[in-house]
Structure 1
Amino acid sequence: MKLSSRLILSAVAIAMLSGCASQSPYDQSAQTGQTESTGMNKTAKYGGLGALAGAAAGALINHDNRGKGALIGAAVGGAAGAGYGYYANKQEEQLRQQMQGTGVEVQRQGDDIKLIMPGNITFATASADISSDFYSPLNNLANSFKQFDQNSIEIVGHTDNVGGYQYNMGLSQRRAQSVANYLLSQGVNPSRVTTRGAGPDQPIASNSSDAGRQQNRRVEINLRPLPGAQTGTTQQ
């Protein structure tokens, strides 16, 4: 009984500390420096309250091992209490770790996460066949998408403006579909995945230089909350 009580207290403490420490540098509260009068942002507060409720519920549900039930309940309850912002923070943290050194850029804006994959590391020139060296990062992405399954996955292909417009539109769509097909083959839920080819229509750099055209040749993955996801609790 003493051990179970200690585990329950530890579960609550860990989940509440996770809520306090999980604030992303991209959260509005981090950008403005504002806090509530209690000195705790809403993500931490609601995460902590969720952890308390989750730990209690987990202990009650798992009669055989109340300590283990409390640990699981605190983790789930902490995320639910804090809302989608907390959830996105944890996913962003994992993605940044997994994509470090791969050439994939991770961006965050509000509840949305964007992965930018330069074409030179994912595909050979004028090809929609995934480069063999890029399967490992895609495997990590697939595992992350299966673990964090509360967002939609939009895959968008982009090209520079060299060559015919219709050719570039087709190439960008084929590249987006190649990435999607591989993620689906690794067990990602197809109902979450959409693809789109933007061709040369959405450049992020000037096409007047080689460096600019290289930036424009890319595949982006946009992660957004699924309908019904709790949002907005990261703001003050």
Structure 2
Amino acid sequence: MKLASIVVTTLAASLILAGCADQSNATKGAAIGAVAGAIAGKATGNHKDKRLVIGAAVGALAGAAVGSYMDNQEKALREELSGSGVRVIRDGDILKLDIPAQLTFDINRSDIKPNLYPVFNDIAKVLRDYEKTMLVIAGHTDDTGPYQYNMNLSLARADAVKNYLMAQNVQSIRLETQGYGPNYPAVANTSEANRAQNRRVEIHIEPIVQ
């Protein structure tokens, strides 16, 4: 039996034992966490396996429900993040939160600035309300400094955001991180203003579909 099938079967059994009919978000999170380790290191970056696991826990979207679900989530994010400096970008049924690194991190640091905690709290609130999604948190840098240093820094920043969201009870199985360093600039690194735009963290929010 394939790993994904084993995990889904185990997760389904865990949810039944937990009382699926009226379980709380905390109970769901605990059930997911109980089996998430079974795919750790194997399903990282494998969206198909993650969709199966999340779908078994909270259900999947289909048809017109996908667009409506993402419409409502987009509206909630825009309301919560109004005036925060975080951009909410829609691309089909995928949402992207563009978080400038200068708002979130000090130069050469990967710890989130405390004044940004309320912003991430607002993001986590919406993510908890709209749990039929998986997320890829991507860190980016400008092109100054050693390449490998920037790769490591971008991943450390993405991991810091992931860890903060987990601390706010966003299920870990829904979260994946990538560090892209200077490889995908939003604009050309031809000025300090442009480099500031390229120092950023993005959260891509993708619906779980059947």
Aligned position for 2:176: 194
Aligned position for 1:7: none
Aligned position for 1:209: 191
Once the two structures are superposed, what CA deviation does each residue of 1:123-169 show, in whole Å capped at 9, x if it has no partner? 00110010111000100111111100111111000000000000000
TM-score by length of 2: 0.69
Instruction: Look up the SS of the partner of 2:107 in the other structure.
Output: coil
Tell me the amino acid that sits aligned with residue 153 of structure 2. Answer: L
Give % identity: 43
Tell me the amino acid that sits aligned with residue 148 of structure 1. Answer: Y
1:107 aligns to 2:52 (yes or no):
no
Aligned position for 2:125: 143
Contact 2:138 2:158 (8 Å CA) reproduced: yes
Cα deviation for residue 83 of structure 1 reads 1.0
Cα deviation for residue 82 of structure 1 reads 3.6
Relative distance call for 1:81 and 1:157 in structure 2 (3 A) is closer
Cα deviation for residue 182 of structure 1 reads 0.4
Aligned position for 2:7: none
Cα deviation for residue 202 of structure 1 reads 0.2
After the TM superposition, which residues 1-236 of structure 1 pair with which residues of structure 2 at under 5 Å, given as runs? Answer: 82-228=64-210
Measure the CA separation in 2 of the matches of 1:190 and 1:132.
22
Q: Unaligned regions of 5+ residues in structure 1, if any?
A: 1-78, 229-236
Tell me the amino acid that sits aligned with residue 89 of structure 2. Answer: Q
Once the two structures are superposed, what CA deviation does each residue of 1:45-76 show, in whole Å capped at 9, x if it has no partner? xxxxxxxxxxxxxxxxxxxxxxxxxxxxxxxx
Instruction: Look up the SS of the partner of 2:84 in the other structure.
Output: coil
Measure the CA separation in 2 of the matches of 1:149 and 1:182.
17
Once the two structures are superposed, what CA deviation does each residue of 1:151-195 show, in whole Å capped at 9, x if it has no partner? 111100000000000000000000000000000011001111000
Measure the CA separation in 1 of the matches of 2:62 and 2:124.
23
Instruction: Look up the SS of the partner of 2:163 in the other structure.
Output: helix
Tell me the amino acid that sits aligned with residue 111 of structure 2. Answer: D
Tell me the amino acid that sits aligned with residue 134 of structure 1. Answer: L
Measure the CA separation in 2 of the matches of 1:132 and 1:191.
25
Measure the CA separation in 2 of the matches of 1:194 and 1:123.
20
Displacement over 6 Å in runs of 4+: none
Give the number of equivalent residue pairs: 150
Tell me the amino acid that sits aligned with residue 161 of structure 2. Answer: V
Q: Unaligned regions of 5+ residues in structure 2, if any?
A: 1-60
Q: Which has the higher contact order (CA 8 A, sep 6+)?
A: 2
Measure the CA separation in 2 of the matches of 1:156 and 1:171.
11
RMSD across aligned C-alpha pairs, in angstroms? 1.3
Contact 2:62 2:209 (8 Å CA) reproduced: no
Measure the CA separation in 1 of the matches of 2:162 and 2:126.
14
TM-score by length of 1: 0.62
